[in-house]
Amino acid sequence: MFLSHLPRRLFRTFAGFTVAIILICTVRTIVVVLSNTRKLNHCDVHEGDEYIALSEARWEAMKKSLTFKTISYDDSNDVETEEFKRLLEYIIAGHPTVFQSRLVTYEIVANYSLLIRVQGKDKALLPYMLAAHLDVVPVVENQWSVNPFSGIEDEEGTLVYGRGTLDDKGGLMAQLSALEFFLARGRVPDRSFFLAYGHDEEIMGMDGAASIARTLSQQGVDRLHFVLDEGLLVLKGMMPGIDYNLASIGVTEKGFMDVNISVVYTGGHSSMPNKESAVSILAKAVEKLHVTQMPAEMDELADEPFKLLAPIAGFPMNFVFSNLWLFRPIIGYVASKDKTLQGIVRTTRAPTIFQAGAKSNVIPSSAWAIVNHRIHPRDSKETVLEHLRWTINDERVKIVAAGEYYKPHPVSPFDRSTSLPYQVVADTAEQLFENTISIPGIMVAATDTKHYLHLSENIYRFNPILAGQREIATIHAEDEFISRENYRRMINFYYHLFINADRTKLENRQTANDEL
Ligand SMILES: [Zn+2]
């Protein structure tokens, strides 16, 4: 009798449980959506105290900066030093108000880098620093549809092509243009600030940014309010169900490590193969580490964008984001399976070089490969090597960290209601970009900030560029370009940052709901 009722009882319990969960999720969604009091202030669009128009002179100045072939090469001895000197001369001559201002001092560091200091009124306030770089990556000229160093516009005149437009001469020239305007209007900042322009960022900044950091320390500058360097972008239409652009501010940077894995094994003539060879053993190891990535995990930083988007997302995304307690594992799983998003939730590894053999009829007695890692802030060199050993699980494979290694950077504060520097950067982005929400993110590429970590706990990596797939595809690739619209926004972003950075008190800001 009792047993015959069991399935029905079970079904009832299950149905009751499901209804309860749906009810809880719905109530939470409603509460979160109603909590949306977001109001964005946009600045004026007529040139004046609030806004810089993109005059032809400002646009031409940026275009001209693209014509200097300031390329960083991996074997850096043949850096085209004259081009760097000419670019510096051009920058200094092109911004007379900045370089002749009584508020400004500057010096050339390590021959080709530039450090500018703008003196603020209040010496008690900690100065901040904006960074950018003068160098660009090499080009494969025949893959470009235009000359990458000619500063040539498209037919409609809406954009300019050129190596460095997005990375990073656009940012550098926009900062200088904004400062020129700022000082020309007779403004004096309360807070002092630095502009730091390294010349070898693309080859790790060991000469430029490292020397700038040393120069600062020689001048007794050992603490900064914040550092803002190049970094993540304002992403256009990237998330289904979200009608907002996402101003993604890099609050940390992944580490970098190459690991050499090698096998030594009996070789011989190709007509008499053994059951195994150095190549086959190494190939097996590479296959294993390729399919078994390190574990993915949703942490506080990975959660934060979803919490911030919950009140403004459309259905069903608002339902999912308002109930991370239930959906977090699913979001984590989906992210871990996505080529681009997985970098947020795990350390990634990819075999990039595979070498063995020299002759087609000789079985090589050794084989080696390089596995490149981008280390998540929760991992370390040791945990990565340990996981690699565990995955390969073959003592015949030698595993050695090789070449350059950079630790993942500490995670800078990203709560807008408690961190003044983060609030300043996040607010400025929302002020300048319409229909945009600022979210914290992880920078997966390297920047010069590695040389500035000791100067502040508030290190941010952000490029104020509204970017769709088209822009993103051209970074470090062919036909890199920037639109007039984007360059105008960049100049205004930095101008407003100069103003907003004077804040000494937090403003009341809605923050992500911690109970999600
Ligand atoms: Zn760059």
Q: Which residues surround ligand 1, an ion (CB under 5 A)?
A: 167-168, 230
CA of 132 to the centre of ligand 1 (A): 7
What band does 31 get if pLDDT is binned at 50, 70 and 90? Answer: confident
Our measurement of the distance from residue 196's CA atom to the centroid of its chain's CA atoms, rounded to an integer in Å, reads: 18
In this predicted structure, the answer to whether residue 511 has a pLDDT above a threshold of 70 is no
Q: What is the pLDDT of residues 441-466, one digit of tens each?
A: 999 989 999 999 999 999 999 999 99
CA of 447 to the centre of ligand 1 (A): 6
Q: What is the pLDDT of residues 358-391, one digit of tens each?
A: 999 999 999 999 999 999 999 999 999 999 999 9
- Classify burial at 74, counting beta carbons within 10 Å of its beta carbon; exposed 0-12, middle 13-18, buried 19 or more: exposed
CA of 263 to the centre of ligand 1 (A): 36
CA of 360 to the centre of ligand 1 (A): 42
Mean pLDDT score, 343-352 = 94
Alpha helices in 230-316 (DSSP H): 278-291, 300-309
CA of 3 to the centre of ligand 1 (A): 69
Go through the domains of the chain in sequence order and give each one's CATH number.
Answer: 56-237+416-500 (3.40.630.10), 255-295+346-406 (3.30.70.360)
Question: Cα dihedral sign for 454, 254, 143, 490?
Answer: negative
Mean pLDDT score, 139-154 = 92
CA of 94 to the centre of ligand 1 (A): 22
- Residues involved in catalysis: 135, 201
SS3 per residue for 152-173: CECCCCCEEECCCCCCCHHHHH
What band does 404 get if pLDDT is binned at 50, 70 and 90? Answer: confident
Mean pLDDT score, 47-62 = 88
In this predicted structure, the answer to whether residue 425 has a pLDDT above a threshold of 90 is yes
CA of 201 to the centre of ligand 1 (A): 7
Mean pLDDT score, 479-486 = 95
Q: What is the pLDDT of residues 320-338, one digit of tens each?
A: 999 999 999 999 999 999 9
Q: What is the pLDDT of residues 267-307, one digit of tens each?
A: 999 999 999 999 999 999 999 999 999 999 999 999 999 99
Q: What is the pLDDT of residues 197-227, one digit of tens each?
A: 999 999 989 999 999 999 999 999 999 999 9
17 or 160: which carries more pLDDT confidence? 160
Closest CA to 347 of 377, 370, 371, 391: 377
CA of 131 to the centre of ligand 1 (A): 10
CB neighbour list of residue 154: distance below 8 Å, 6 or more residues apart: 160, 161, 481
Evaluate if pTM is beyond 0.75: yes
